[in-house]
Amino acid sequence: MTQPLFKIEDLKVSIEGKQILDGVNLTINAGEIHALMGRNGTGKSTLANTLMGHPKYEITGGKIWLAGQDITELEPEERSIAGLFLAFQYPIAIPGVNVVNFLRAALKAHRGGDMPIKDFRILLKEQMNLLSMQQSFASRYVNDGFSGGEKKRLEILQMAMLNPKMVLLDETDSGLDIDALKVVAEGINRTMTKDRGVLLVTHYQRILDFVKPNFVHVMMNGKIVKSGGPELALELEKQGYDWLGKETKHENQATAN
């Protein structure tokens, strides 16, 4: 049996003693894009941050596996080096640090040493061309004065440079107009490989018009309550989350009986 690229087993998470995630199970294979949908406050961003190792979130049960390695207890930087990448909902600005130096430092941390400057510049130019980014972008300070779309495009560039095994995209479509959304979605699609997995966290179906998921999951009350194909997102767009809440309630009652 083929080993899954990424696996979450019965994950339970608390913040300051309050349970937020209540037994999340999810398996993602290489080459698959999974979308995680749900209302605000259902635990989607908590899941993304927990998977990346944010210290605010206490894991009280369950396991996280990446390419067969148990990463549940690893520090965020160790998870990153192991091949996990998180694109933040609200990327922060780093005035005084330009994109070139930022990306070179990130690569050095991953590789355990500097990449020769010539090789680095070739790689950076290749990836920026792939993402249709002007070379002048690299000389700007990280996210300083960037538009929402530029911040998200920089995160896609970081992903392309670091070449992770597993990518977590936490509401990448948040705050983007339709033009910026198309550009970011195109970047995600261009950097997708058969060896990589993606978990795309979103409220809305609109980004899924451009980034086609293999599977869609819906989170309610800290757990995944329904999974399906891309058609599930379309059904949610039409009927909303109340429909699914009622359906789930009826299923639970039937099971209890």
pLDDT of 244 strictly over 80:
no
pLDDT given for residue 252 in this prediction: 47
For residue 186, count other CB atoms closer than 10 A to its CB.
16
pLDDT of 254 strictly over 60:
no
pLDDT of 87 strictly over 50:
yes
What kind of architecture, by CATH, is found in domain 6-90+164-256? 3-Layer(aba) Sandwich (3.40)
Per the model's pLDDT, the better-predicted residue between 8 and 242 turns out to be 8
pLDDT given for residue 213 in this prediction: 96
pLDDT given for residue 245 in this prediction: 61
pLDDT given for residue 19 in this prediction: 95
Reference 218, options 198, 192, 240; nearest CA is: 240
Q: What is the pLDDT of residues 217-229, one digit of tens each?
A: 999 999 999 999 9
Q: What is the pLDDT of residues 158-183, one digit of tens each?
A: 999 999 999 999 988 887 888 888 88
Tokens standing for residue 128: 């920026």
Q: What is the pLDDT of residues 44-72, one digit of tens each?
A: 999 999 999 999 999 999 999 999 999 99
pLDDT of 256 strictly over 70:
no
Judge whether 154 and 142 are in contact, CB under 8 Å: yes
Average pLDDT over residues 244-249: 60
Taking the C-alpha atoms of residue 95 and residue 113, their distance in angstroms, rounded to an integer, is: 25
Between 177-191, 217-231, 241-255, the lowest mean confidence (pLDDT) is in: 241-255
Taking the C-alpha atoms of residue 85 and residue 239, their distance in angstroms, rounded to an integer, is: 33
pLDDT given for residue 89 in this prediction: 82
Question: Quick one: how far is CA 2 from the chain centroid?
Answer: 23
pLDDT given for residue 100 in this prediction: 96
pLDDT of 26 strictly over 90:
yes
Taking the C-alpha atoms of residue 184 and residue 146, their distance in angstroms, rounded to an integer, is: 14
pLDDT of 248 strictly over 80:
no
pLDDT given for residue 174 in this prediction: 82
pLDDT confidence tier of residue 250, bands split at 50, 70 and 90: very low
Residues forming a β-bridge with 70: 65
pLDDT given for residue 257 in this prediction: 40
pLDDT confidence tier of residue 98, bands split at 50, 70 and 90: very high
Taking the C-alpha atoms of residue 137 and residue 70, their distance in angstroms, rounded to an integer, is: 37
Query: pTM for the full model?
Result: 0.90
Judge whether 236 and 57 are in contact, CB under 8 Å: no
pLDDT given for residue 246 in this prediction: 60
DSSP letters, 97-121, are: EEHHHHHHHHHHHHHTSPPPHHHHH
At 234, which amino acid appears?
L
